[in-house]
Structure 1
């Protein structure tokens, strides 16, 4: 049996289940009016709070009504059958209306839904006691799926055209037992305009990651020797060890669920994204996402960033000065930190009409960061310089020091 959705409840005939509050268009209930013995229990289906909207339907009908229906979510999960399962028996003529396969669409596609009640089998009344027909169209009005009671006159003439402002099926309310008595679709009331990832929680423990020194290594930016080759009693020389080095900084964020409900929207990472043990980046980085729905995989575009590392250092008693016969070894370095982890987060979404709401998402983060550069110079005797040492330029004390470009 298919697993139950996140938010599903079945209550007695005299009660209705409660859909979670959400950014819905005005909904329309179609089918049986009022309560009647045998009309079935109410079921509320909703997983959009965890990022997954409804993206598939399968139904079948007999001569007189839609007998069974089930749904699929963007994460690939399916619901149980509501009403009679397909092939479950109980209808002598069997399915008289059943397309060859379910209709499934990706969560970026907008759909329209039309519902008809049936003409109930109560003598002297044509009031509905079940769903008579369900039709799904794409955003351009082209029919994609159609299931209907087949007996002549079994379906009401008038239908309910559900508001399709956002074109996304957020959830469904069903009443069913031996057939499908009622359906109510909850549609997103406006397209998604933007989203911000907040409250990010990494699966890897950041504190433990830093303590174990994971992904942290020191990188030398430059090193050089300076020397004063003047004989004893000669003049002093000065030096300057300084430069700027540009390093690539990576910030790649991917969302692994098909849950933005829009093909390409601007998503931002809000708040702080920590690079454990190295640096805390506190800014807002924009990303452009491309979604592959069939694999429920999202590819994040790496932000093209860089960081300039500046360093400057000298040695000697005064003004980076070296006495005759003395040398200095100067080195600059920075610490590079890489971090890779899955995460959970809250998406703060904004619709075109200004409505704001939140839902949960999962994803993956890859980051590369650099600490500020550190420079150090140590003085020594010239005789201690290695034979193959790289030497920098010095200047007599009465001239401006030359800049070494490492």
Structure 2
């Protein structure tokens, strides 16, 4: 049996779901036209996290030769929903996909042929993944659910006892126009991080010590190169659920490692930024410099740079705006990781450095005596 949302969602199901806040979340949302298959017997259930951000990213189902026995959903943040029905029957299937990269193109259900239960379910994604679990439905009417242009399953609902009595889906009703992440505030402040120099450390690129035992002046030269990588990665449920095919704007107190001076780093705050899945850039430090060393004199030379590393959590408010103007808003905790380097410093002096900047621990390379 296939129910039209005009006659059922606005009637009996709303009353059944009204007792619980979670159940009521499946009633009213930014859904494509909703339909369902089965009968309104058994206990009502609703699986959705659309007010918190995660979307459905996996379905597992069990059946026998007569009907769908059980179903369970997994969300994009890894949350596994409860089992509906009873895990039984010799037919079983599971499907999982990444909503940020793949979308649902088909969701079809059949009844059990008696108007009492759900008989079969088929879900297909654009990437070719298929869930097909249930009885032989040859000769039965099939019911195709409207998956919307975005193909994002925001929730599922139904009734269940020992079997799946009724099953329906909540698909996002339109394409996403824009995602904004506002009111960003990190757990740590730039002032505290700078006072502790947390994550900011000097890295030795080269260090050499030479003693001139000759009666003439010599020239000590240092040269070399080293690769380094700068990166910045944002991680949150929104990124996992919707990906970076949409422009994601972020605003608030955004921590960032930048140059205090050309050769030193510090934490600062910027107000706006555009999310990218991951910024990564590889460059090279290259150094070549020399110093004269007089008879009987010593020279201590080094090349070094500051590396800044940050891994911190932030709180924010996410707003997802659809093409029709509807907005979904929810609080979210995310994480940002950043690695940044300063410019290098090249220097020589007649006495050893004692400022705590590390030296390359290689005695053969670091110390030499010219005689």
- Normalization by structure 1: what TM-score? 0.55
Three-state SS of the structure 2 residue aligned to 1:68 is: strand
Question: Any idea what SS the aligned residue of 2:275 has?
Answer: strand
Tell me which stretches of 4 or more aligned residues in structure 1 moved more than 6 Å: 335-338
Q: Does 1:271 align with 2:252?
A: yes
Task: Give the equivalent residue in structure 2 for 1:107.
Answer: 99
The answer as to 2:336 corresponding to 1:364 is: yes
Give the C-alpha shift of residue 187 in structure 1. Answer: 0.6
* 1: CA distance, partners of 2:162 / 2:14: 14
8 Å Cα contact 1:50/1:361 also seen in 2: no
The structure richer in strand per residue is 2
Listed as ranges, the matches of 1:198-277 within 5 Å are: 198-204=182-188, 208-215=192-199, 252-257=232-237, 258-262=239-243, 264-274=245-255
Give distance in 2, aligned partners of 1:206 and 1:114.
Answer: 52
Distance 1:71 1:387 in 2: 69
1:285 aligns with 2:273: yes
State how many pairs are aligned: 269
**Counterpart contact for 2:158–2:166, Cα < 8 Å:** yes
Residue 139, structure 1, aligned to residue 117, structure 2: no
Distance (whole Å) between structure 1 residues aligned to residue 324 and residue 34 of structure 2: 18
Partner of 1:183: 167
Higher helix share: 2
Structure 2 unmatched runs, 5+: 1-12, 18-22, 203-229, 261-265, 283-305, 343-348, 352-371
Alignment RMSD, CA only? 3.9
What is the deviation of 1:350?
Answer: 2.6
Instruction: Report whether the alignment pairs 1:348 with 2:319.
Output: yes
> Are residue 301 (structure 1) and residue 279 (structure 2) matched?
yes
How many Å separate the matches in 1 of 2:55 and 2:195? 40
3-state SS in 2 of match to 1:209: helix
Query: So what's the TM-score if we normalise by structure 2?
Result: 0.60
Call closer, same or farther: CA 1:102–1:215 in 2, change over 3 Å: closer
1-side partners of 2:59 and 2:350: how far apart? 78
> Does the C-alpha gap of structure 1 residues 151 and 213 become closer, same or farther in structure 2, counting only changes over 3 Å?
closer
How far off is 1:14 after superposition?
A: 6.8
Shift of 1:68: 1.0
Structure with the greater alpha carbon radius of gyration: 1
Distance 1:152 1:266 in 2: 45
Are the equivalent residues in 1 in contact too, given 2:234–2:276 (CA < 8 A)?
no
- Unaligned 5+ residue runs, structure 1? 1-11, 87-93, 121-127, 219-249, 290-299, 305-334, 371-385, 389-406
Matched, 1:168 2:152: yes
Q: Structure 2: how far apart are the matches of 1:263 and 1:134?
A: 30
8 Å CA contact retained: 2:119, 2:134: yes
Cα pair 1:130 1:181 within 8 Å, conserved:
yes
Name the SS of the counterpart of 1:344 in structure 2.
strand
Cα distance change of structure 1 residues 303 and 202 upon mapping to structure 2, 3 Å threshold: farther
